[in-house]
Structure 1
Amino acid sequence: MTEVLKALGPFFFYAVVGVFAQNAVFTRALGVSRIVKLADDPEVDSLTFGVLLCSVQLISAPMAYFVNLWLSEQWYSTYVRPLVLVMCSAVAFFIVLLLVVLLFRSSGAKDIVAVLPMATFNTCILGTLLIGTTRHFDLLQTMGFALGSGVGYVLAVLVVREGARKLDNEDVPATFRGLPVTLLYIGILALAIYGFTGHLISF
């Protein structure tokens, strides 16, 4: 039992790191443009988006890990790595698409499939894969970081959406309403989380 817990330790540690200390949005600015669109789009269900994002992350992460093991031995690995990571996320897209169609058939599948491209092709997915491969995480670390990044991104979506809802009032000057105040809100949150995790800002 102790050996199992020791083996799973890196997975949970890197998952927590991915959620908080290395949050894709607030500490790495990954997927900010997508999150701003989500905050303004009430038709996209955050839970559906989050499940799809985490599914794509967890499917593409091991593919990227094993492909990178082979690719790291090649002299051209640096040049083709981004394209390979895009291909891994594309394969994960089709796997999740197939699962959605098989599980939901015609009822509800259309709405879920409409959100799937948004949850797949964004810098949160590609950035997480790139960090895992360039930092040479092992498989458990890669999977933990992928899950944590997905959950952290979904939490960021919920926080930004709630903040945007509360900031939509008459107390905000007209020139700052909408996108400007949302970006300011994200920036202040990013500074708070960046400082909370122990980083010092150099001027």
Structure 2
Amino acid sequence: MNDVMQAVGVFFSYAVLAVFAQNAVFTRGLGVSRLVQLVGDERTSSGWFALLLCVTQVLVAPLAFYAGGFVAAQPNPAQLRPLVYLACVAVVSLFEFIMLWTARGKRHGGQLLRILPLASVNSSVLGTVMVERTQSFTLEQSMGFGLGSGLGYLLAVMLVTEADRRLRSEAIPEAFRGLPITLVYIGVLALAIYGFTGHSVIL
């Protein structure tokens, strides 16, 4: 019982770590291009996108964990690692596609099927897997970090969406309106979170 509670504690602690201190967007710049597209796309639900991203990363984590052991035993792990992890993402994406295809006639099924490529073919998915494996996370840590990275991505989308509404002021010079000021805003948030984790910016 204690082992189960400890594993659950590790899972959630790494999820919280990934949401805030190690946010995929703000501390590692993963998926920024998709984030900017998502903020301006009113047809795509941020909530459903984040749900699919979380599911994808949680399902990829155990596959990548066991595949990482296989890769480490090979003579050329550095070359094999990205290909094997891409294969893990492809297997999970295919599984999700089959499940959503069978449910396409149900409520939200068609919408989720349309969002799936945006959520699964995303640098934040592969980047999160690479972080998990290069940091030698355990299975519980990897799955918690995968879930937290998806939730952290949703947090980033919500923050940038709110900023998009507020950064339409006439006080902003015309040359900076739209994408430029959005990228500046993301950069300032990234610096703030980077400093929050205990790092200092050296000028």
What secondary structure sits across from 2:199 in the alignment? coil
Mapped to 1, the partners of 2:65 and 2:11 lie a distance apart of 14
Corresponding residue number in structure 2 for 1:191: 191
Would you say the 8 A contact 1:52–1:119 is kept in 2?
A: yes
Corresponding residue number in structure 2 for 1:78: 78
Would you say the 8 A contact 1:100–1:109 is kept in 2?
A: yes
Would you say the 8 A contact 1:55–1:96 is kept in 2?
A: no
Would you say the 8 A contact 2:160–2:182 is kept in 1?
A: yes
Corresponding residue number in structure 2 for 1:29: 29
Q: Deviations over 1:119-169 (max 9, x none)?
A: 011111000000111111110011011111111011111111111121123
Alignment of 1:1-203 (within 5 A): 1-105=1-105, 107-203=107-203
Deviating above 6 A after TM superposition, structure 1's stretches of 4 or more consecutive aligned residues are none
Mapped to 2, the partners of 1:172 and 1:113 lie a distance apart of 38
Q: 1:83 deviation in Å? A: 1.3
Mapped to 2, the partners of 1:39 and 1:97 lie a distance apart of 24
Structure 1 stretches lacking a partner, 5+ long: none
Q: 1:103 deviation in Å? A: 3.4
Would you say the 8 A contact 2:104–2:113 is kept in 1?
A: no
What secondary structure sits across from 2:28 in the alignment? coil
Mapped to 2, the partners of 1:111 and 1:178 lie a distance apart of 27
Mapped to 2, the partners of 1:117 and 1:3 lie a distance apart of 37
Tell me which amino acid in the other structure corresponds to 1:177: R
Mapped to 2, the partners of 1:22 and 1:108 lie a distance apart of 31
Mapped to 2, the partners of 1:7 and 1:158 lie a distance apart of 30
Would you say the 8 A contact 1:23–1:152 is kept in 2?
A: yes
Distance 1:3 1:110, change over 3 A: closer
Q: Deviations over 1:60-114 (max 9, x none)?
A: 1111111111111111111011111111111111111122223343553322211
What secondary structure sits across from 2:103 in the alignment? helix
Mapped to 2, the partners of 1:127 and 1:190 lie a distance apart of 17
Q: Deviations over 1:16-38 (max 9, x none)?
A: 11111100001111111111111
Would you say the 8 A contact 1:63–1:88 is kept in 2?
A: yes
Mapped to 2, the partners of 1:9 and 1:108 lie a distance apart of 33
Tell me which amino acid in the other structure corresponds to 1:13: S
Mapped to 2, the partners of 1:107 and 1:31 lie a distance apart of 28
Q: What is the aligned length? A: 203
Mapped to 2, the partners of 1:45 and 1:9 lie a distance apart of 31
Mapped to 1, the partners of 2:84 and 2:168 lie a distance apart of 41
